[in-house]
Structure 1
C-alpha cells in the first residue's frame, strides 16, 4: 500500500486519528530529508524527529488529563473547565502540525518549495507541542493539589496549603514564544485568527512608539518587521507582556477608543433614539429602605481621588416619557419601561469606557427594547479598590431614585449586566445592596468574570501564558493595580491621571437648567406627558452636571459654612464641566484620543508628546520610557504579593448567607478564557447553595469576545445567546 493510501485510510477510518496521520506524515518527511546535508534539510529532519518524540510522550498525558477533566464540569450538560481547555489546545495543535507536515509532504519536491520557511514552520510546531506537554505536566500537579468543593466534587482552585510560587517556579520552562509567532491563533475560530494577528502586530508596533529603546528610525524599522517576521513579533510580545507596566496596558487598550475606530463602530451598529451622557454630581443621596424603615443614606464616593462627578451613558431604542434626550429625538413617544438594565464595562479595572463597549450594547438595546445605563467608573491604578465599587453603589442608588424622572423607566425590574472586571464589580454591588438594605437587582448577567481576584493558580488561568489578548503578565499587573494602586504616583500625578473630570466621555454639550429637570420630573409616570415640558430637554449626547436636589425633593439638609468651603456646589460643577469641555474640544481637534490618554497615564512627567501614526512618542527633552530588557529579576517575582481576602474584591469569598440571597445569575464564558475556572466554580457554588444559575461555555473564542462581534460571526452568535439569557432574566 502506498503512503498516500495509508494517510487517506488513517483520515477516513474512525479507529485512527489525526495523531496517527501526523505520525505517518512526520515519518515520511523525516525519511525524505534525512539524506540532506544542508542546514535547512538537517533542521527539517530534526524537527520532525522531535515532533515524533513529543507526540509519543504527549498522547498518554492527554488521555490521562481527559479522564479527570469531567470531574470539574459545571454539570454533565455543560462541559468546560481548564483541564478540558488544554485538551482542546492539544487537539488543535495536532491538527495544526498535521497541516504543516502535509504541506511539506505535498511541496517538498516542487521547485516552489520554500525550504527556509518550512524549516521554521515545522520547528515552531515542535516547540508548540513541547510547550503543551509541559503544561499537561503542570495540570497533573494542580490536580494533585485539588480538594473537594462544597458540592463534594474536586475544586478547580487548589488548597491554600500550596503556594502559587511553587507552580510559578515550575512554569519558568514553558516556551511562550511559540504561541505568539507562526502558530499564533491556532486555537481560535478562523474569524478570530486574523484578528489576533492584527492585534499583536499593533501591540508590538505600539510598544515601539510607547517605549524609547533605540533610535527613532530603528523603532520604525522594527514596527514594519513585526508584520513580516513572526519570530521578531513573538520575541517582542513576550518581552512586553513580561516587562511592560500597567500604563502600557492602559494606553494600548485605549487604542480602540480612537476617533477612527469609533467611526468604524458607529457605521456598523444600529442607530439609537437616545444616546446620552449624564454627569452625576456627588451630592447627598438617600433612597427608601426595603424594610420600610428610615431612608438609607448612600455614601458619596471619596476614596483615593476625592469627590468628583460620575459619568454614565444612557441608551434607548425609543424615546420615552421621563427620559433625558426625548425632547428632540424623532419618532413616537412611548411610556416608561418596566425594566432598567445597569451595565458595568470590563477592562481589567484599568481601562475602557462605556463607549468602547457600544459595539454590542447598541444591538442589545434594540433586541431587548429596554433602556441601558452604563457607568464610566474611575480606573486603577490612580483610583484603586474600593473607588470603583463606591461609584457603582452611588450610581445604582441614583438610578433607582431618578428612574422615572430621567431614565424613562419605573425600574420595576433592574438587571445588572457586565463583562470581566465589570461583572466582578456588579457582584460587589449586589452584595452592597443586601448590606445597605436597599432594593437588590432582579437578575445578574456575567460574562467571563474573575470572581477570585487573588493570585491563585487554576488550569484555565494558565491559559494566560498562551493568550494573545490577555497575557499572564497583563492580567497580573491589572490585578495588582486594582488591589494596591500605584504608590509611586504623587498627588499631581493622580490629579492628572484620574482627577476631577479627567475621564469625560463626551461628544457634545447642551446646558440643562434645574428647571428643565423639574419639568420632566413633574411629567406623569406613564400616559399623558406634556410635550412642552419634554421639549425643553435636549437630545444631545451629554447632560451636564446639575443639582438634582429639587428633583429628589428630599434634599432638606443645609450645608454648614465649613461644608460650603470644602464642597463644590452643583453650579460650580456646571461651570467647570463646560470649561473642561471647551478645552478638551480644542485639544481633540488637533490631537488624537490615543495621544491624550497616553499623556494622562504617563507618570514620567507633564511634558507633551509628539504623535507618530497615532502613537505617542516622547518629545526630546522629556523623561524617556524604556522597556527593561535586561532585568535579572524574574518577571514572575513581582506577581507574588498579598491580596486581602475581601469578599468585595473576590465575590467567591462571600459568606454562604450572602450568596444565597443573590438574584438569579446567568454566566457566559469561553473554553479559551483564562477566567473560565472562575465562572465554573462560582456557578457550582451558587447552585450548591440553591441559587438559580446557568452557565454557557462557548468554544474557540477568546476573553473579551463581545467586543469582536463586528469582525467575527461566532462572536456575534455568542452575543445573540447573551441577549437570550438577559431576556430570560427579564421574564422571570
Structure 2
C-alpha cells in the first residue's frame, strides 16, 4: 500500500535478545504448569460445585498452555524482523507476546494465592472459582488471537506489518466475532498494563458502564440518578455483568455515546484540576481566529492559505495559548507588565487527541502545562472542529489555517518564530503530520520538527497485529475505534445535508461590520464565563497592540456606553462560550440590532447571562442524556439493554478513501522526503503501534532524520494520565526530551527537565 519496499527475509535467524526472552518465557510456562497441576490434583478430590469448577479451570489452563506454546514459539522466532531497529524493538507481534506473558504472570499469581489459602478456614472458594475461571477464559481468548496472528504472519511480505490489498478489513471483523471479549473487561481487566494504571482503568470502565445506564434510560432526572446509583452497586460487585455491559456498549452504542462519555472530562470540575494539580502558568487563554483571507510570503512568493469552509461553513478557529511566562508582544497582555519577558525563540504548535470526535485543548491542559514549564516556550493548541459534524477534511483545513496564522503572527504569541515545532497525540498527531504535508504541497514552510505520539497514520481498520489489541483495550475498544474512524473518514449523508443548511445561516460575514478599533478594544477583555483563562477574538490588526495599552485615554459616559455596546455585542456573537467548547459544540447567538441606549446595553447583558445559563443547562442535559439531539433512537434503546445477534461486520462495512491527507503513510516518497526531523513515540499496547512503526521505517528508508520510542506498560492516550501514574509521567518527560531535541536546545536543559 506504499511505494516503499523493505527487503527483509522472514527466515532470518533469531536475534540474541529473542533467545533470552524465550528462555525467560519458558520458565514462566513451566512454573504455571506445575502450579496448575498441583492445584488440579488438590481440587480433583473436592466434590463441591465450586471445587469441581476450580478443577476444570485448572485443567483448561493446562490445555490452553499446550495450545499456546507452539504459536508463541513461531511468532517469537520472527517478530524481530518487523522491528524498527535492533535497539528499538516494537511491533504488534511483540505486543501480543507481551500480553501473553502478562497473562501467564497473572495466572501464576492467582495459582500461588489459591495454593497458599486453599486449606484455610477463611478460603473464599466461590470467589476464587470465578477468578480462575475468568483466567482460563483469558488464556483461551489469547490462544484464538495468536491463531489469527499466525494468519497475519502468512500475509506479511518483506517485513510489512500491513497486508496487501488482497486482504480487507472484513477479515479482521470476522476475527472479532471469534474472540471472546468478555474476559478482557471483567475480573482480568487491565492485567496487561503497569500496576499504577490498573485501578484507574477499572474506574474508567466502571464509569462507562454506569454512564451508559443513565444515558440510555428513560424518565426524569431523579429516575436517572436513581438508576445510576443502583447500577453502580451491581457493576462494582459483579465484574462479569460489567464486562457484558461494556462489550454490549462498545459493540452497539453510536458515536454520540462515545462523544458524550469522553466529554465527561470537559465538565467544569475536571477543568479546574489542571490549575490545581499541574504546573502553574502565567497564560492560558482562548483565542478565536476569524477565517479571513490569509497569505504567506515565502521566497518572494505570496501564497494564499485555503480558508476552512467544508461542511460547517466559514467559522472561527479556536486556539489556546499556554505559556509559563508572559512574553513581549503576547496578544491581550500589556507591554508595561513588570514580569514580561523578551519574545521566546521557540513556539510549539499542538493538536489534541480524541479520535477526531471528542476532547479539546482544555482536557489536555494537564500535561501541556508541564510541557510549557519544561520547554519554556509558548504553546498554541488548536481546538479543531470535531466529527461527525465536521468530518474530513474540515479539521485538516482548520489546523493548516491556524498554523499558517501562527507562522505569520508569531509576534502576537510571544515568539520570534525562529524555531517552530509541532506536536500532537493520537488524532492530533495525524492532523499535525497531514497539515505539514499540506503546507509542503502549498509551498509553505512546515514546522522545523514534528513530534507524533501514538499516531494513526492509516485511517482505516486494516488487519494488522496491533489493531487486534483494541479487542482488549478499555480506553480504545474495538467498536469505539471503528466508529471514530467512520465518523471522520466517511461523512454521514444526512449530516451533510444538515451542515449545508447550517452553512446558509453562517454569521461569519458579520466580521466586516466590526472595525479594527473595536477589535483592539476586545484584546484585554476576559471571557464573561471563565475566570481561569481569557477568551480573545483576533481580527485583522494593523496597529501595535502594546502601543495601545500604553496610551492614557479619557472617556466620557457616551464613549463608555458605546464601547460597552460594541464589546457586549461582539462577545455575544463570537466570544460568549465556555473555554472548554469546540467549534462542533458552539451555538452562535442571534445578532442584536444596533443601539446605544443604556437599556439596550442592559438587555445585552441579561441576554448574555441567559445564553450562559442555557448553555450550562444544555451541557447538563447532555450529561444526563436529556438532550433531544443526543437521545438514542428507539432502535438503540432496544438494542443496548440486551446483546443482539447482529453481526458486527454488517454495522461497520464502509469504504475509506485512499487519501494521503487522511492516511499519511500513503503519501508519495517525494512528499515525505520534504518533511522536517520527526520524532515518533508509541506504546507497546497501542492499537496504532504498527502505524507508527511502519511510518518511522518508511522515513528511515528515505534517509530522513527520524526517531522511534516504544514505551511498555502504558495505554493509548497515556499523556492524559500523567498526573495519576508514575510511568505515564515518565512517558510525558520523555516526550519533553524529544521535543527539546527537535528545538535543538542545549542538552543540559533537557537533562535537567528529566530530573
Q: CA contact under 8 A between 1:250 and 1:601: conserved in structure 2? A: no
Instruction: Give the match for residue 589 of structure 2.
Output: none
Question: Match for 1:223 among 222, 232, 235?
Answer: 232
Instruction: Give the match for residue 189 of structure 2.
Output: 184
Query: Matches of 2:689 and 2:237 in 1, distance apart?
Result: 33
Query: Matches of 1:408 and 1:334 in 2, distance apart?
Result: 9
Deviation at 1:274, TM superposition (A): 1.1
Deviation at 1:223, TM superposition (A): 2.7
Instruction: Give the match for residue 469 of structure 2.
Output: 463
Deviation at 1:264, TM superposition (A): 2.5
The answer to whether structure 1 residue 112 and structure 2 residue 104 are counterparts is no
Instruction: Give the match for residue 424 of structure 1.
Output: 430
Question: Structure 1 residues 577, 180: CA separation in 2 closer, same or farther (over 3 Å shift)?
Answer: same
Instruction: Give the match for residue 388 of structure 2.
Output: 381
Query: Matches of 2:576 and 2:430 in 1, distance apart?
Result: 35
Question: Match for 2:460 among 454, 461, 479?
Answer: 454
The answer to whether structure 1 residue 577 and structure 2 residue 574 are counterparts is yes
Deviation per residue, 1:629-675 (Å, 9 max, x gap): 35432123222311110000000000000000000000111000111
Instruction: Give the match for residue 292 of structure 1.
Output: 300
Q: CA contact under 8 A between 1:315 and 1:373: conserved in structure 2? A: yes
Question: Structure 1 residues 500, 222: CA separation in 2 closer, same or farther (over 3 Å shift)?
Answer: farther
Question: Structure 1 residues 39, 368: CA separation in 2 closer, same or farther (over 3 Å shift)?
Answer: same
- For 1:180-219, what aligned pairs fall within 5 Å after superposition? 180-212=185-217
Deviation at 1:170, TM superposition (A): 3.4
Query: Matches of 1:384 and 1:721 in 2, distance apart?
Result: 32
Q: CA contact under 8 A between 2:287 and 2:538: conserved in structure 1? A: no
Query: Matches of 1:380 and 1:50 in 2, distance apart?
Result: 45
Q: What secondary structure, in the 3-state scheme, does the structure 2 residue paired with 1:375 have?
A: strand
Query: Matches of 1:694 and 1:206 in 2, distance apart?
Result: 40
Q: What secondary structure, in the 3-state scheme, does the structure 1 residue paired with 2:54 have?
A: helix
Instruction: Give the match for residue 127 of structure 1.
Output: 137
Instruction: Give the match for residue 324 of structure 2.
Output: 317
Instruction: Give the match for residue 587 of structure 1.
Output: 613
Q: CA contact under 8 A between 1:251 and 1:601: conserved in structure 2? A: no
Mean alpha-carbon deviation: is it higher for 645-654 or for 388-397? 388-397
The answer to whether structure 1 residue 372 and structure 2 residue 382 are counterparts is no
Q: What secondary structure, in the 3-state scheme, does the structure 2 residue paired with 1:410 have?
A: strand
Question: Match for 1:236 among 245, 249, 253?
Answer: 245
Q: What secondary structure, in the 3-state scheme, does the structure 2 residue paired with 1:95 have?
A: helix
- For 1:62-461, what aligned pairs fall within 5 Å after superposition? 62-148=72-158, 154-212=159-217, 220-288=229-297, 290-293=298-301, 295-327=302-334, 332-404=339-411, 406-461=412-467
Instruction: Give the match for residue 734 of structure 2.
Output: 721
Query: Matches of 1:540 and 1:551 in 2, distance apart?
Result: 28
Instruction: Give the match for residue 45 of structure 1.
Output: 55
- For 1:440-589, what aligned pairs fall within 5 Å after superposition? 440-489=446-495, 514-515=516-517, 541-550=533-542, 574-578=571-575, 582-583=608-609, 586-587=612-613
Structure 2, unaligned runs of 5 or more: 1-22, 509-513, 546-565, 579-607, 746-755
Deviation at 1:571, TM superposition (A): 11
Query: Matches of 2:734 and 2:515 in 1, distance apart?
Result: 42
Query: Matches of 1:421 and 1:124 in 2, distance apart?
Result: 34
Question: Structure 1 residues 88, 479: CA separation in 2 closer, same or farther (over 3 Å shift)?
Answer: same
Q: What secondary structure, in the 3-state scheme, does the structure 1 residue paired with 2:397 have?
A: helix
Query: Matches of 1:301 and 1:626 in 2, distance apart?
Result: 39
Deviation per residue, 1:74-109 (Å, 9 max, x gap): 000001110000000111101100111111111111
Query: Matches of 1:25 and 1:488 in 2, distance apart?
Result: 58
Q: What secondary structure, in the 3-state scheme, does the structure 2 residue paired with 1:334 have?
A: coil
Q: CA contact under 8 A between 2:677 and 2:742: conserved in structure 1? A: yes
Q: What secondary structure, in the 3-state scheme, does the structure 2 residue paired with 1:356 have?
A: coil
Deviation per residue, 1:178-224 (Å, 9 max, x gap): 11000011000000101011000000000001112798556642232
Question: Structure 1 residues 172, 578: CA separation in 2 closer, same or farther (over 3 Å shift)?
Answer: closer
Question: Structure 1 residues 573, 384: CA separation in 2 closer, same or farther (over 3 Å shift)?
Answer: farther
The answer to whether structure 1 residue 639 and structure 2 residue 660 are counterparts is no
Question: Structure 1 residues 99, 361: CA separation in 2 closer, same or farther (over 3 Å shift)?
Answer: same
Q: CA contact under 8 A between 2:519 and 2:539: conserved in structure 1? A: no
Query: Matches of 1:718 and 1:166 in 2, distance apart?
Result: 34
Q: What secondary structure, in the 3-state scheme, does the structure 2 residue paired with 1:210 have?
A: helix
Query: Matches of 1:517 and 1:133 in 2, distance apart?
Result: 64
Q: CA contact under 8 A between 1:447 and 1:668: conserved in structure 2? A: yes
Query: Matches of 2:524 and 2:316 in 1, distance apart?
Result: 26
Task: State how many pairs are aligned.
Answer: 661
Deviation per residue, 1:144-166 (Å, 9 max, x gap): 00122xxxxx1000111122222
Question: Structure 1 residues 315, 309: CA separation in 2 closer, same or farther (over 3 Å shift)?
Answer: same
Query: Matches of 1:48 and 1:100 in 2, distance apart?
Result: 11
Deviation at 1:500, TM superposition (A): 7.2
Q: CA contact under 8 A between 1:383 and 1:498: conserved in structure 2? A: no
- For 1:681-696, what aligned pairs fall within 5 Å after superposition? 681-696=694-709
Query: Matches of 1:247 and 1:653 in 2, distance apart?
Result: 30
Query: Matches of 1:499 and 1:116 in 2, distance apart?
Result: 63
Q: CA contact under 8 A between 1:272 and 1:318: conserved in structure 2? A: yes
Mean alpha-carbon deviation: is it higher for 680-689 or for 213-222? 213-222
Question: Structure 1 residues 499, 668: CA separation in 2 closer, same or farther (over 3 Å shift)?
Answer: farther
Question: Structure 1 residues 14, 454: CA separation in 2 closer, same or farther (over 3 Å shift)?
Answer: closer
Query: Matches of 1:138 and 1:698 in 2, distance apart?
Result: 25
Structure 1, unaligned runs of 5 or more: 1-12, 149-153, 503-511, 521-533, 554-568, 606-617
Deviation at 1:252, TM superposition (A): 0.4
Deviation at 1:591, TM superposition (A): 4.3
Instruction: Give the match for residue 674 of structure 1.
Output: 687
Deviation per residue, 1:597-648 (Å, 9 max, x gap): 777986357xxxxxxxxxxxx9xx9999554435432123222311110000
Deviation at 1:493, TM superposition (A): 8.1
Q: CA contact under 8 A between 2:328 and 2:335: conserved in structure 1? A: no
Query: Matches of 2:163 and 2:94 in 1, distance apart?
Result: 17
Query: What TM-score comes out, normalization by structure 2 length?
Result: 0.82
Q: What secondary structure, in the 3-state scheme, does the structure 2 residue paired with 1:728 have?
A: helix
Query: Matches of 1:351 and 1:195 in 2, distance apart?
Result: 20
Deviation per residue, 1:397-432 (Å, 9 max, x gap): 11112111x211121121110000000011111011
